[in-house]
Amino acid sequence: MRLPLRLKAGHINRLRLEQIPAARRSNLVCPAGSEDTGWRITTLRCLEEPWQRLACAGFNPRTLADVLIVRHALPAVAEPLRGPLPRRWCGRDLRPWLTDAQARGELLRLLQPHRKAACKLLAMEFPDANASLLEVEEVVSCRAAELWQPWLRHRGLFCDVALESGLLMLREGHEPDREALTAMLLQEGDLGWLPLIARQPVELRLSWLRMLVETGRHRQAPPHSMRRLMETLRHAVERPLHARTAKICLMSLANGCTPRFVAMALRFHVRWKLDFQTLGRPAHEPAHRELNKVMQSGISNWVRKPQNLWRQATRLQDWSSAVRRLFHHPRPRGVHEAVLEAMQSIERRSRRKASKWPNWLAGWDDMLRELDATPRAKQPFALALIRAWRMDPEHDSMSLHSTRQLLRWLRRARDFEKLQDDSVAKIIEAVWNSLPEEDEETLPGLPESIWLQMRAGLVGYSACSNAMRGIWHARSLKRGVMAGMLASAPLEWLRTMRRIGELDWRERKELWQAFREHPLMSCDIGSMPLREALVLVDSIRDSHPRFPGVPEKLRAGAETMHAHVRAHYMEELGRNTQRLRLAVLDELAEWALWRRFPMLQGRTVNTHTLRVAAAAGEENRRPMRRLLRACGERQGTRAWSLAHPANERWLQAHPAERVAAWRDGFVIEKEIEGVGALRVGPEDDLQAILRMGTEFGTCLSAGCFNSFSTAANALDANKRVIYARDAQGRPWARQLLAIAESGHLVCFPVYSRKNHAVLRHLFAAYDHTLAQALRMPIWRSDDATAKITPLVCKDWYDDGAWKP
């Protein structure tokens, strides 16, 4: 019989814990920020008959059973006695002596002959009654017998002196749920929490009780170092936030975190003013010294952001050891930034593949030695290789093969004299990740001039990322194919990779599969008979006449040549074959692009226009397809776009003189030193307008993330593109103009190839002249943004106004 029973006012009451609704809870303000949990202790009268029968006791089994029941409800207390048990107790009221342990023992000894019959009665009335009811019990105080012993007896425990002193400290306060929370801790919780909570200040004890019961952590034993966490929480957190933070700490412990880690995390978040949320079990518990070492170093703020550093330190195994070795010797700030940036990228990419990080950590000391051995002038490219090693979001280069290649390239970077570009480093990483292991030695052996030629094709925001996406699916190629095409024509190879990267990933996959199945790829020119190789190369060159094919000397008499002469011409044939493979790959990329637009019959539309149309986006896709049809019918002019109903409505809302000046425009000519005579005027060819970003390497370039905006610049009547061209028609600068709803002429920045200051002055003069012709002021506000109405195209990128 395990029921929490209490004798009060002459009645035996059964205690029960209940949680009242939120509407009935107390609104008392807690200094620690906790709220009333709603737990209360309710009493139910029970076992009235045994208590009444003991008013007239007898020498029988019923009396013994009633004494055992009351003994369970009333623990013996250490208080002055009324006197010994009378010798003639039969027929008298025994209830005054039932709280005395000595009197109970004497009464049970006298009723011992009826023990067997009394146990049968208890078994019938209380199925859970057992022989433990007859054991000798300990003596407790009156307060413990009234308040806490009923809950402890429910678990078969007794209240000792140490436990009672802790409970007395928890009782300090008048909150309505304090006694109920203490009862829950005694009834079902681990008593190891009591001394920990009792050591806290008075205003924090109830907060801990409430949070323990709310999270259910009171049922589990307090972990080791819990006292340290509670003291950290006490001193680091303001009182109104204590309850919320304590709950977060307990939930973090439930997720598998240790108190030491939670305490360190709390100090770190409080110091750097971060939002402290529930923590998951970390892959690594960082050392506080290493965290401070990184945060107090002189590296850039964007690298050592506290929230990024914390994620990095807790998700990478042995992070503290790696940082300790990184900062052990004095190194330039750029080295620390590059390595930490690469580690941050690893943390973002390796959440599901955390086992890849130790591969780099195994070569950590070797990498640091290579960096220390690199001259200061050549370190930027070595650091760019480390940063590029983890930058691409699509590929998985975290392998032992890639780690060895990184060390090899760090040694190779010492031989480069002019190569410093980060974009080239990213291309190198993407290529080495796509190469088979047989070509490991080929890529580092390429001369520096190969990589320098690529810089002209890496101009623009998305040029490098598009090229890396194009390389991603180029796996499972035969040995020497990718490196051979790269070495034969680096710039053409890069441009082809960019075009492939602009395609959809399914199209890229199909393109590379078609390239693998091409006869020039499926046949090995070096191992097949020479006559068959010549026939194959000639058949492919017939469709690509501008590329070199079989050397004439090799075609004339290869059998009579000396071995070294034949080897020379066979090497030339191999290089020409790689150029032909690159031409085939470029043709496949153009075929994949044209396949998107089956409605175009002729070739009057430029490939660049198709590239822009492919990335037009959902909002501008329909107007862009109409533009393609117009260009296919040789109607892609400004006059055709102004015939759109939306443009006609906009033009009709303005005076005729203004519409004529805006539609026709004017041209100014000026001699520019180093350039020659330039003509500045509006552009009416829609396909030329679409090249406004590609010509100058801006974010509006074909394949870049804002290329969709060129469609709006070409088709909307309230926008005008101004070009500065030389006598040969080559563009040297351009500018976008627009008319806002407020009636202002909005001038956007000028982009030019060179002589930026001179060309800006030239365009400023043009803008002022046009504003006077339109009788409109120029927008010059720095606080507000000019509102430009979308007409034909709904999606448009605002580059920000420029004040000429």
pLDDT tens digit sequence for 638-652: 899 999 999 999 999
pLDDT greater than 60 at residue 134: no
Contact status, residue 705 vs residue 461, Cβ threshold 8 Å = yes
Instruction: Find tokens 């020379």 and name the residue.
Output: 568
Contact status, residue 313 vs residue 283, Cβ threshold 8 Å = no
CA 269 from chain centre, in angstroms, equals 18
pLDDT greater than 80 at residue 156: no
CB burial of 593-625 (b: ≥16 within 10 Å; e: otherwise) equals beeebeebeeeebeebbbbbbbbbeebbbebbe
pLDDT greater than 60 at residue 291: yes
Report the pLDDT value the prediction gives residue 47, as an integer from 0 to 100: 74
What is the DSSP track for 473-509? T--SPPTTHHHHHHHH-HHHHHHHHHHHHTS-HHHHH
Report the pLDDT value the prediction gives residue 473, as an integer from 0 to 100: 81
CB burial of 36-60 (b: ≥16 within 10 Å; e: otherwise) equals bbbbbbeeeeebeebbebbeebeee
Closest to 273 measured CA to CA, from 241, 299, 243 = 241
Report the pLDDT value the prediction gives residue 394, as an integer from 0 to 100: 43
Rg of the chain over all Cα atoms, to the nearest angstrom? 43
State the chain's mean pLDDT as an integer: 85
Kindly state the tokens that stand for 558.
């290869």
| Strand, helix or coil for residue 401 | helix
pLDDT digits over 664-720, tens only?
Answer: 989 999 988 888 899 999 999 999 999 998 888 888 888 888 888 899 999 999 999
* Residue spans per domain, the chain: 5-145, 282-355, 607-774
pLDDT greater than 90 at residue 390: no
Report the pLDDT value the prediction gives residue 1, as an integer from 0 to 100: 47
Average pLDDT of the residues in 235-261: 95
pLDDT greater than 50 at residue 142: yes
Report the pLDDT value the prediction gives residue 558, as an integer from 0 to 100: 65
Residues 372 and 411: their CA atoms lie apart, in Å, by 11
Beta strand pairing call for 745-747 and 731-739:
antiparallel
Average pLDDT of the residues in 499-522: 88
- Give me the CATH topology for the region 607-774: Aminopeptidase (3.40.630)
Query: Measured between alpha carbons, how far is residue 666 from residues 100, 482, 680, 719 in Å?
Result: 115, 51, 8, 15
Report the pLDDT value the prediction gives residue 399, as an integer from 0 to 100: 55
Instruction: Find tokens 């019938």 and name the residue.
Output: 124
